Amino acid sequence: MNSTALLTADHNRVRGLFARFKEAQAADAAAAMAGLAEQIFTEIQLHTTIEEDIFYPEVRQGDDELEDMVAEGLEEHHVVDVLISEARALTPGEEAWVAKLTVLIENVEHHAGEEESELFPKVRRVFAAVDLEAQARRLEARKAQLGAPTMADKEHLTVEDLRRLAQDQEIPGRSSMDRAELLATVAPG
């Protein structure tokens, strides 16, 4: 798997959490919203950390356009980081907290969409596939250092397990994912 596919898998795991958060919000399920928000914060902070530690510094060397895209990405990460800090200072469920989460979700959806439609395709044009596969291994190693689940930790799961988890976690696009994509995307049960 290449690094852009691995990072896209992270995005889809977070999109599943967003879908579940919005359903909890529609159902007025305050405790579920608070629990999902914590998972959202953890996933986003892990993902932005590995992008900032490994992916961004390496791909910004590619050319001037990549340098600009990464500079914009870092600013967007900063905004998201501020929103998470501000949300954490509020009481889960209160009106301002819900509004903060709504804006956080909108920001992350925009940022992840832009990475997938502009940055990642450009990275795949500029860098060799073999280099992006090596980069994915560095991203996985950093996740392991940070105590987060890696693909290796989920290797024992069957395709049926992975499909069930993807459904429970409301992973978008799950029906067309192969085993490797499911493995990269689902959170361990």
In the bound state with Fe ion, the residue whose beta carbon lies nearer, of 51 and 181, is: 51
Task: Return the structure tokens found at 177.
Answer: 């994912």
In the bound state with Fe ion, the residue whose beta carbon lies nearer, of 7 and 123, is: 7
Residue 96 beta carbon to Fe ion: minimum distance, rounded to whole angstroms: 26
Residue 93 beta carbon to Fe ion: minimum distance, rounded to whole angstroms: 28
How far, in Å, are 12, 129, 130, 151, 171 from residue 48 at the CA level? Answer: 14, 22, 23, 18, 19
Residues 119-158 that bind Fe ion (CB under 5 A): none
In the bound state with Fe ion, the residue whose beta carbon lies nearer, of 16 and 73, is: 73
- Report the first-to-last Cα separation within the chain, whole angstroms: 22
Residue 15 beta carbon to Fe ion: minimum distance, rounded to whole angstroms: 11
Stretch that binds Fe ion, among 4-12, 28-36, 118-126, 148-156 (CB under 5 A): 4-12
| Distance separating alpha carbons of residues 161 and 158, to the nearest angstrom | 5
Stretch that binds Fe ion, among 43-51, 88-96, 123-131, 167-175 (CB under 5 A): 43-51
| Distance separating alpha carbons of residues 135 and 45, to the nearest angstrom | 19
In the bound state with Fe ion, the residue whose beta carbon lies nearer, of 8 and 169, is: 8
DSSP class of 146: T
| Distance separating alpha carbons of residues 31 and 164, to the nearest angstrom | 24
Residues 152-171 that bind Fe ion (CB under 5 A): none
In the bound state with Fe ion, the residue whose beta carbon lies nearer, of 23 and 116, is: 116
Task: Return the structure tokens found at 76.
Answer: 């967007």
How far, in Å, are 80, 111, 125, 153, 156 from residue 76 at the CA level? Answer: 6, 7, 23, 30, 36
Q: Are 161 and 186 in contact (CB under 8 A)?
A: no
Residue 57 beta carbon to Fe ion: minimum distance, rounded to whole angstroms: 13
Residue 29 beta carbon to Fe ion: minimum distance, rounded to whole angstroms: 28
Instruction: Using CB under 5 A, list all residues that contact Fe ion.
Output: 7, 51, 73, 115
